[in-house]
Amino acid sequence: MNSSLLTFHKLSPLIPLTASFWLIYIIQSHKLESKARNGVLIYVGSMGCWAFGSLLMRNSDQMAEAILWAKVMWAAGIIMTAAMLHFVHELLELRPKKLVYGFYGISALMAATALTTRELVASIGENAWGYYGKAGPLRYPVMVFYLFFISYSFILLLKYRYSKGRVVYHAVNVTLIALMIELVGAIADLLPTVGIRCYPAGMFTHTAFVMLIAYGAFKHQLIGVLSRPQPRLVLASVTYSLIASGIALTFTNTPSRYVFVFLLVFLFVAFNAYHFFDDIAYVTAKYFRFRQQAPLYRKMDDASLLFDDAEVGILALNRRNEVLFANRRAAQLVGRDVIEGRSLSFLTNDILREKLMKYTQHRRETVITVDGNTSADIMPIELGGYVGTLICFYPKSKRHALEGLKKPSRLRSLSFWDIFPDK
């Protein structure tokens, strides 16, 4: 066999592994608050484990070692399917959540069976391409389970794609295409268990699924990302995966390979520690400081109830220079077709931040006139670890809605587009 083809076969799982690193890093670095974030992270993380197991199985020197990593591949593949359904449920905001948790429980049970027994991976075969897993007696229930998740997710998307608004409609269309490709990949993954080799179809379809999800994230607000992918993040993710994989491939025995697992976990935690501690700070503030020490924050936490009836829009500029909409009214006043709770990177620039901080640096609050009928209060805030600026838009006739929230102390005329320059 051509040596270059063999080398490609052994190193090809680096492609989905790199894609996983990249998308996880992008999601974490953007500090997303999207409801579909968790499902995507679990899916991409599982796919990274699948690619990791595939990489080490193909480069194993011993049969027992190859069986171990084949089991890791099977377990990760099972979790991937449940995470896919989780993602679809979050995207469409479907209930009950207990259904998703039940599917995760079944998936965890089957994954544990795959890891601890030979009911799913009975043995390892070897041919000119290297090792491959041979399925055990439980392969048919798992195949049905595997295909059910993908088919059910597909049907849910078809059923609800017109009922969740235009933005979600475009995101759902991207997900539908991704799921069709993933269905082909699922079949390609299962064919080797019955003796049909179709490599590398499964690897490319899994990678294509993640890349389509990333495209939907950046293009159609699929998981709340609106900024363009930064080259440095792509380069960083590729570099991390290559370095970690290179370390793994330098070892030839099983105990040393576990060093690679530790390094992967260490790298992931190290590069995301900042965001991790940010999460802890936010949760702590939300459940303690918001409710016990800061009535203003508590009312902001209930903004949808307090302000929507008064047609008030709220914006916040966090310390990452991201503009956040708290409700739809703010988006309407800005004149952008957006969904509430999304991060608007196209309004993010240094001029905007300078203008906002200019009017809030030396006073607690400022009231500005946006137009003849609408005013806005600007005030600095510290919200769950975020130091930024709060902007409350409200019609003058509805000003009484803010009573008890704060008392404006100063009025200043200011052009709306002086604050929000149209790019």
pLDDT per residue as tens digits for the range 390-409: 555 555 444 433 333 333 33
The residues that bridge with 325 in the sheet, in sequence order, are: 315
Q: Using CA of residue 329, residue 335, residue 339, residue 342, what is the dihedral sign? A: negative
| Confidence at residue 405, expressed as pLDDT on a 0 to 100 scale | 37
182 has pLDDT over 60: yes
4 has pLDDT over 50: yes
| Confidence at residue 181, expressed as pLDDT on a 0 to 100 scale | 78
pTM here? 0.52
411 has pLDDT over 60: no
Q: Which amino acid is at 338?
A: V
102 has pLDDT over 50: yes
155 has pLDDT over 60: yes
**Percentage of the chain lying above the pLDDT 70 cut:** 33
pLDDT per residue as tens digits for the range 189-247: 666 656 666 666 666 776 777 777 767 666 655 554 333 444 444 455 555 555 555 55
Q: Confidence band (pLDDT; 50, 70, 90) for 269?
A: low
Q: What is the mean pLDDT of the chain?
A: 59
| Confidence at residue 29, expressed as pLDDT on a 0 to 100 scale | 60
pLDDT per residue as tens digits for the range 110-131: 888 878 887 777 666 666 555 6
| Confidence at residue 390, expressed as pLDDT on a 0 to 100 scale | 53
What is the β-pairing status of strands 366-369 and 313-317? unpaired
Most confident of 275-284, 307-316, 409-418: 275-284
Q: Which residue has the higher pLDDT, 158 or 267?
A: 158
Cα 214 to chain centroid distance, Å, stands at: 9
Q: Which residue has the higher pLDDT, 393 or 141?
A: 141
CA distance 417 to 423: 10
Domains of the chain: 3-280 (1.20.1070), 296-419 (3.30.450)
Q: Confidence band (pLDDT; 50, 70, 90) for 292?
A: very low
Mean pLDDT calculated for residue range 3-13: 69
Q: Which residue has the higher pLDDT, 299 or 331?
A: 331
Q: Which residue has the higher pLDDT, 151 or 259?
A: 151
Q: Which residue has the higher pLDDT, 343 or 282?
A: 282
Do residues 115 and 69 lie in contact, with contact meaning Cβ atoms separated by under 8 Å?
no
Mean pLDDT calculated for residue range 278-298: 39
